[in-house]
Amino acid sequence: MLERKLRLLPADALTAGAIAHGDLLECAPALPLCEAARLMSERRVSSIVVVEEGQILGIWTERDALAINFTDPAAFLRPISDVMSAPVRTVPAAMSLHELTQRFREEQMRHYLVVDEESGRRCGIVSLSDVVLNQGVEHYLKLRKVDSLIKGGLRVLPADTSMTEATRLMHEAALDAVVVDFGAGLAAKGQGRYGIVTERDVMRLVARKELGLAIGELASRPLLTVDEHYSLYRARAMMTERCIRHIGVLHSDGSLADVISFRDILGSMELAYVDELHQALHESDRALSHSRRNLYLAEQVIESSLEGIMVTDAQGLIISVNPAFSRLTGYAAEEVIGRCPTLLSSGRQSPAFYARMWVCLQTEGKWQGEIWNRRKSGEIYPELLHITAIKDEKGQVTHYAAVFTDISLLKETEARIRDLAYYDPLTGLPNRRLLEDRLQVELSHAARMCSRLAVMFVDLDRFKRINDSLGHEIGDRVLVEVASRIRLCLRDDDTVARMGGDEFIVVLGNLAQPDAAAATARRIVAALRRPIAIDGRELVVTTSIGISIYPDDSADSATLIKNADIAMYRAKEEGRNSFQLYQPAMNARSLEHLALETALHGALQRDQLLLHFQPLVRADTGEPVAVEALLRWQHPELGLVSPADFISLAEETGLIVPIGEWVLRHACLCHGRWREDERAPLRMMVNISARQFRQEGFVEMVGRVLHETEMEPSLLTLELTESMLMDDTEASVLRMQKLRELGVSLALDDFGTGYSSLAYLKDFPIDELKIDRLFVRGIDRNMRDAALASAIISLGHSLGLRVVAEGVETRAHLDVLQRHGCDLAQGFHFSKPLPWQTFVAMYGKASAQAVPGSSACQAARTASAP
């Protein structure tokens, strides 16, 4: 719409000079009015310019002629300079039609003299009508009907009215024409009833200096008319064709409605034009205010943006910044405006970086990337920066706009994620991944320098117990302390990494001698042996370390780690709390371990498992009251394998579940045979492993076996260890209660070796405590062990439990235990574990009489298998 309106506005090509009437009529100031009128009539122009010595003094127009006093004959002879309008307003010939239109509107003029400014030449007169006629408003004339110009107030004068009277009327009423009525009778003769007298006729009158004429004599006849429904376009065409400036308008009934003039049509067009112009301007105002509003909005967005915004001129000098810029950089707007953005440079980017940025800006008009900048405080921070070159319509860069965000937080998060990927979150040590990277680097370095390097596998002994008994939180704190102690034993450029759980790997670079690694290992073992105080509790953690050396043990990282692991296992086998250097023979051992695992899988099917039985006797009388079933594996090549060598393997592989069931069933079956022979009642004690105990359906399995073997439940005691119960005490107690509901008894095995939580002990539904043989071993010589054993016995009794001492090897052991009131004893002093047949032979009949040191016991000791 706006576009259409603007198209109506003067085209730039059209100028005042181009549309001005060039036939400028000029006269001297002294020229009598009648002469001027004659000239104007002859030339059929509506104005004459009064010139003296080349200077325009004024202008006289047809309209001015109506002001002449026609009753005074001298009036026609007055010099034109007396009545002319002055001064004459001029416009330059080069003035655009648009500007000219504005000028007409502002100054309310009807004519301008057009002057060529360069030459001073007068080009002609231009009227508002000329402007309008050149605006292409024909469409408007076609749309409007003649009746739209009917004003009413038609002046019809009788034909005998004097010219003097008529001109006076015209002048007073500012009419440029009056209709002359010749009467209805004349109309009948075909001449038309009406004629017309116009300003131009008045001009002719002035020229002829004729006074006293009646208007009928001067009028043009007949009055040309158009129907009121004709378009203005058609009316104008008729007037142009007939060279007339007035036309009558007839109502549909043929009566004369009005006279309209060319000037009326033009006036109406002017109105339309001005209206259009007004609308166009209004719309352009609206567009302007719209764009102002957009500008305001943009300003608001920039002001409130969280991103820093900086605008520079084409030379790169800052011309504006937003508040976020000041917040992010610390610079107030007035501190940076007029300065170069280099004041933000951190110095971290090379000149080549900036050169690339400029090339990109010049070729692509934009650049985006990360950059380090410096705040006013001096702090360097990373930002994500977008720069856009802003160009004018000619494609010339006028500004650069830079928008940036502080990405410090993002970078920190990235770093944290990287840390998580490469560091152990608990101890802050490198993790396996970073260790592997570093080890690679160290290995290449060692290869280049022909130096040695050690890889240590550090594993805490029995750490699981701490976790199981004291909970993971304490376990974690122990690990953090262990990590820091290991770190303190190393040089700055050595690496310690946590591989997971309680395993650490240490890499010692630039090793002078393998001995140096041993020295470090010794330091670590010693450092970790010192008690760790946590919540007022002192925990002792020992460690086993395996060491492999580059290039002696291998040249590749994976093998070095594997060999260190093998050596670590050897250290554990050798009694823990020590270190071992890798030896190739160890590898063979670990292969053996693998072979053992494979063989154990077939042990059950191949009937290679068997039970040995060891009696438990009353400590005071030596009377056997129970028997413990102990598992053995009869391996075709390795011979009789001790449970110490394969129970943990069976646990790891899960084989303990079927094996455990086999043990229980087999023990119950043996016990059944014992009862068949009507021997003295004897309790059967069976070991249960942690994995077995936690196995879903374990209690049901026990119930099933009891049922299937017809075992008397009260004669079965299951041995559980402390550590297996501490893991999830509530679930353990529940399971123990269910077992008790089956009628079986429960014994707590190896008591004292775990992190005995006496608080829980009272909640466990157990019947018996078995003191670990570790405490029994020294009770005859060591006061501390004796005191401990005594304390455990009292504790057990105070909880209403039977107390069994394991590992009773000597009379002296027994004496001490008897003194402290221990209930039952088990150990080599009475009997080693025996095959069933031997056990039955030894204790079957004589069980009631058996006493420590009796001949029966002696015989058992001699006959027992290992």
Q: Which residues bind ligand C2E (CB under 6 A)?
A: 614, 630-631, 642-644, 647, 660, 663, 687-689, 719, 749-750, 773, 806-809, 826-828, 833
Cβ atoms of 390 and 312 within 8 Å: the answer is no
Give me the least distance between CB of 685 and ligand C2E, in Å please. 8
Q: Which is nearer to ligand C2E, 122 or 666 (CB)?
A: 666
* Closest C-alpha among 635, 748, 732, 751 to residue 692: 732
Rounded least distance, CB 722 to ligand C2E, Å? 12
b/e map 790-802, b = 16+ CB within 10 Å? bebbebbbeeebb
Residue closer to ligand C2E, measured from CB, 199 or 719: 719
- For residue 517, the minimal CB distance to ligand C2E (Å) is 35
Alpha-carbon distance of 720 to 631, in angstroms, equals 15
Closest distance between ligand C2E and the C-beta of residue 811, in Å?
Answer: 12
> What span, in angstroms and rounded, lies between the C-alpha atoms of 615 and 674?
14
Cβ-based nearer residue to ligand C2E, 474 or 663: 663
- Nearest-Å Rg of the Cα atoms of the chain is 62
Least Cβ distance, residue 838 to ligand C2E (angstroms): 14
Residue type present at position 774: L
Residue 362: both structure tokens together: 């010049």
Nearer to ligand C2E, 62 or 719 (CB): 719
* C-beta closer to ligand C2E: residue 205 or 630: 630
- Nearer Cβ to ligand C2E (427/687): 687
Question: Exposed e or buried b for every residue in 732-744, given b needs 16+ CB within 10 A?
Answer: beebbebbeebeb
Q: Which is nearer to ligand C2E, 132 or 814 (CB)?
A: 814
DSSP state of 444: H
CB of 565 to ligand C2E, least distance (A): 25
Q: Which two tokens stand for residue 381?
A: 């921070």
Of the pair 328, 718, the CB lying nearest ligand C2E is at 718
- Closer CB to ligand C2E, 263 or 773, in the complex: 773
- Least distance (Å) from ligand C2E to the CB of residue 785? 15
- Of the two residues 785 and 806, which places its CB atom closer to ligand C2E in the complex? 806
Kindly tell me the sign of the dihedral angle through the C-alpha atoms of 751, 754, 760, 765. negative
Q: Are strands 802-805 and 768-771 parallel, antiparallel or unpaired?
A: parallel
Residue 387's closest CA among 371, 408, 406, 365?
A: 365
* Residue 539: CA count within 13 A, CB half-sphere: 25
Q: What is the DSSP annotation of 287-353? A: HHHHHHHHHHHHHHHHHH-SSEEEEEETTS-EEEE-HHHHHHH---HHHHTTS-GGGGB-S-S-HHH
Element (H or E) spanning 57, and its range?
A: strand 55-61
Q: How far is it, in rounded angstroms, from Cα 718 to Cα 684?
A: 8
Between residues 479 and 656, which has the closer beta carbon with respect to ligand C2E? 656
Nearest residue to ligand C2E, by Cβ distance, number only? 827
Q: How far apart are CB 727 and ligand C2E at their closest, in Å? A: 16
Shortest reach from residue 687's CB to ligand C2E, in Å: 4
142: left (phi over 0), alpha (psi -120 to 50) or beta: alpha
- Least separation in angstroms between residue 834's CB and ligand C2E is 10
Count of H-run helices and E-run strands, the chain: 36, 34
**Min dist. Cβ of residue 634 to ligand C2E (A):** 14
Is 627 within 8 Å of 615 (Cβ atoms)? yes
